[in-house]
Structure 1
Amino acid sequence: MIYDVVIIGAGQAGLSMGYFLKQTGLSFIILDNQNAVGDVWRNRYDSLILFTPRAYSSLPGLALKGDPAGFPTKDEIADYLEKYARTFDLPIQSKCHVEIIHKENHLFFISTNAGVVIKTKKIVIATGPFHTPKIPAYAKELPEHVVQLHSSQYKNKSQLNDGPVLVVGGGNSGAQIAVELSQDREIYLSVGHKLRFLPLSIGKKSFFWWCEKLGILQANHDSFIGKKVQGQPDLIFGYELRARIKDNSIKLKNRTTTIKKDEVQFADQSTIKVQNVIWATGYTLDYSWIDVPGLLDPDGKVKHIRGMTDIKGLYFLGLPWQYRRGSALLLGVGEDAEYLVKHIANLSKNSS
């Protein structure tokens, strides 16, 4: 069988794509390397809570249940995504790891871990921005008795040694983990930029409600607002971290620069000794499994316009700032998916 479309990834991007494709009559399948839909969320740290309220955490066609102004947990989102796939009867092949993709003439050939080769006319890469954990090279200098985990590996404090913890990275994951651990630990937070905080709500309305009313959510990457926001360090949602820094429950440190044995040095030359390090340092993208020339620019980023690449039939969905701020988030990925499906459906109609 030759599919019209194959989607790689059954996260929020892949499911949104499937929702709109289901309405076209095109044949498609979603390939996912997890055991079940939602496992990417289930496997994240136990205390993870989204900073987008439920009103802004739904995909097209199915609202997330619960208090619209409340903030969902990661398990709530995992269950919601599983329900979403079931509600719309989306064709998903789980436990399917894509090893290599190549193109011959007008077809893509997808080789999987099961030894199966799947053929398709068009392919959508919906694997999101979280590929390979980014950990600095000097991490290998830590002695074996120091526990070090990337934030993607951290679940809860039971994984850690007794004693101080250094969290490296000033995004929302690092902030949440540091706040959680500061309840009964000595916590250091290493950040290479000035922390900027945003309220979760203003005047009983969600911060995202105000962003929508002011047109910030709708601003695309080429707009004045979009250009201002892109490339800026993560904004920390909520004021818990700020309060813990203020009362010294969390000690703020400069950028981490070197490690010698169990001693960590920072940009201001100060040092500390810790028994645990959590690297909340983000991810690097890895598209080495897509064996199609011309995909990436010299900086290793995907060359595309609204998810459409220069390679005929190859699309991306769920990239940060693919078109708008919310392109990689639950609140915005559906609009990008609808745009791509309309484009694909029109191409298919014209070629038939």
Structure 2
Amino acid sequence: MEILDTIVIGGGQAGLASGYHLQKKGVRYLILESSNQVGGSWSRYYDSLKLFSPAGYSSLPGMKFPGEQSLYPKRDEVVRYLQEYKRKFQLKVETNQRVESVEKGSEGFTIRTMTGDTFQTRTIINATGSFNNPFIPNIAGRDGFKGLTIHSSEYKNSEPFINQRVLVVGRGNSAIQIAVELAEVSQTSLAVLSPIKFVKQKVWGKDLHFWLKFIGFDKFPFWRFGKTAPSSSAVNDTGKYKERIIAGKPDQQPMFTSFYENGVIWPNGTKEQVDTVIYATGYRPQLPYLQAIGALDEEGKPSHKAGISEVPGLYYVGMEGQRSFASATLRGVGPDAQYVVKKLLHYLEHRM
């Protein structure tokens, strides 16, 4: 069996950016994608999703995001861009290859997939993201609630929720986008632990991402100081979302304390009947196939520094806060992939 130099697990934006830099360096590689197409989780997000960064700050290495650079791309535009990216650079991808297990030996790693295929590789870049492991907080009484509870990863559009009483749990960008959309057709509230914070999308006529890049915060190397880049729950806003919240469409309420059979109980003890609760509460890494080789900590999170695992020959791209504030975004995975590939090549050179 052929032993590849590296296998990239995941064919989303992080995996494609990794493939670009590997191919550029002449590395023998293969990208394994669990679904039937490249693009990662983008095609599964809600219909109306827009990027929180304009096209001019949303490109992978080597290929400019098309269209007006000041506009904010929609979900389907991102999907098309990632598929075209794969075609343009003729990246080596095998689809429908969900990784089941990884073993480490003297020559590198053995990867087995759900289809029964086996791959041999000297190194691995894990670039899977966390979309497949949505986080739902354990709130008292949840199991007894007779209404509908879903995670935002399952939300597509507002049609199924017309004339309902809906609560959206969360205060980040996705929570606000979904709640504003739902408020057009239903009685919707945001249930938040603390009041929503807004950040102006444009300052002095320039997008926020221009200023992040200008002052260097976008790529500040937090990892050099033993830290991951801080995440932000502030909502990027041109003014539209703040206006809607002020108008009460949707309104925001302090997080409910528990469920009861037909609804929720608010902090003041009031019960309210609710039809649907949507959790826009983010995601958590889930990489069980790396457990056996000692790559995860006690909480199941990857043990790494700037994408370099404690397990020799294993690397990551696409982790939130991996090397900078921009890590895990379209604009951030390219520099992270370049850094990781450089480290990977150094590792291979010293093993041969």
TM-score by length of 1: 0.93
Task: Give the Cα separation in 2 of the matches to 1:222 and 1:60.
Answer: 22
Compute the displacement of 1:120 (Å).
0.7
Equivalence for 1:54: 55
Equivalence for 2:266: 266
Give runs of aligned pairs for residues 110-189 of structure 1, distance below 5 A.
110-138=111-139, 139-143=142-146, 146-160=147-161, 162-189=163-190
For the residue of structure 2 that corresponds to 1:121, the secondary structure is: strand
Give the superposed CA RMSD: 2.0
Contact 2:103 / 2:293 at 8 angstroms: preserved in 1? no
Task: Give the Cα separation in 2 of the matches to 1:283 and 1:211.
Answer: 24
Equivalence for 1:312: 312
Equivalence for 1:207: 208
Equivalence for 1:345: 345
Equivalence for 1:236: 235
Q: Encode CA deviations 1:206-241: one digit per residue, 9 max, x unaligned.
A: 1110111112112122579x979725x511011333
Equivalence for 2:303: 303
For the residue of structure 1 that corresponds to 2:119, the secondary structure is: strand
Q: Quick one: which amino acid aligns to residue 5 of structure 2?
A: D
Task: Give the Cα separation in 1 of the matches to 2:71 and 2:100.
Answer: 40
Compute the displacement of 1:277 (Å).
1.5
Equivalence for 1:27: 28
Equivalence for 2:281: 281
Compute the displacement of 1:245 (Å).
1.9
Q: Larger deviation: 55-64 or 271-280?
A: 271-280
Q: Quick one: which amino acid aligns to residue 336 of structure 1?
A: D
Compute the displacement of 1:268 (Å).
4.2
For the residue of structure 2 that corresponds to 1:341, the secondary structure is: helix
Corresponding pairs, count: 348
Compute the displacement of 1:249 (Å).
1.6
Compute the displacement of 1:95 (Å).
1.1
Compared CA separation, residues 293 and 270, structure 1 to 2 (3 A): farther
Q: Encode CA deviations 1:72-97: one digit per residue, 9 max, x unaligned.
A: 00110010000000100001111111
For the residue of structure 2 that corresponds to 1:133, the secondary structure is: coil
Contact 1:5 / 1:121 at 8 angstroms: preserved in 2? yes
Task: Give the Cα separation in 2 of the matches to 1:42 and 1:228.
Answer: 28
Q: Encode CA deviations 1:17-37: one digit per residue, 9 max, x unaligned.
A: 000000122211000111111
Compared CA separation, residues 228 and 270, structure 1 to 2 (3 A): farther
Q: Quick one: which amino acid aligns to residue 309 of structure 2?
A: T
For the residue of structure 2 that corresponds to 1:327, the secondary structure is: coil
Task: Give the Cα separation in 1 of the matches to 2:266 and 2:336.
Answer: 41
Compute the displacement of 1:246 (Å).
0.9
Task: Give the Cα separation in 1 of the matches to 2:202 and 2:283.
Answer: 29
Compute the displacement of 1:347 (Å).
2.6
Q: Larger deviation: 191-200 or 132-141?
A: 132-141
For the residue of structure 1 that corresponds to 2:52, the secondary structure is: coil
Task: Give the Cα separation in 1 of the matches to 2:10 and 2:227.
Answer: 29
Contact 1:323 / 1:336 at 8 angstroms: preserved in 2? yes
Task: Give the Cα separation in 1 of the matches to 2:33 and 2:282.
Answer: 22
Task: Give the Cα separation in 2 of the matches to 1:254 and 1:88.
Answer: 49
Give runs of aligned pairs for residues 322-341 of structure 1, distance below 5 A.
322-341=322-341
Compute the displacement of 1:39 (Å).
5.5
Task: Give the Cα separation in 2 of the matches to 1:236 and 1:45.
Answer: 18
Q: Encode CA deviations 1:193-216: one digit per residue, 9 max, x unaligned.
A: 231101111122111101111121
Q: Encode CA deviations 1:232-265: one digit per residue, 9 max, x unaligned.
A: x511011333212211221211123210112212
Contact 2:102 / 2:293 at 8 angstroms: preserved in 1? no
Q: Larger deviation: 74-83 or 30-39?
A: 30-39
Q: Encode CA deviations 1:46-102: one digit per residue, 9 max, x unaligned.
A: 110011000110000000011111100011001000000010000111111111112
For the residue of structure 1 that corresponds to 2:66, the secondary structure is: coil
For the residue of structure 2 that corresponds to 1:124, the secondary structure is: strand
Task: Give the Cα separation in 1 of the matches to 2:37 and 2:229.
Answer: 35
Compute the displacement of 1:344 (Å).
1.5
For the residue of structure 2 that corresponds to 1:289, the secondary structure is: helix
Compared CA separation, residues 66 and 94, structure 1 to 2 (3 A): same
Q: Encode CA deviations 1:264-297: one digit per residue, 9 max, x unaligned.
A: 1233434321112111111222121224343223
Flag structure 2 segments of 5+ consecutive residues without an equivalent.
none
Contact 1:129 / 1:320 at 8 angstroms: preserved in 2? no
Task: Give the Cα separation in 2 of the matches to 1:331 and 1:37.
Answer: 18
Q: Quick one: which amino acid aligns to residue 37 of structure 2?
A: A
Flag structure 1 segments of 5+ consecutive residues without an equivalent.
none
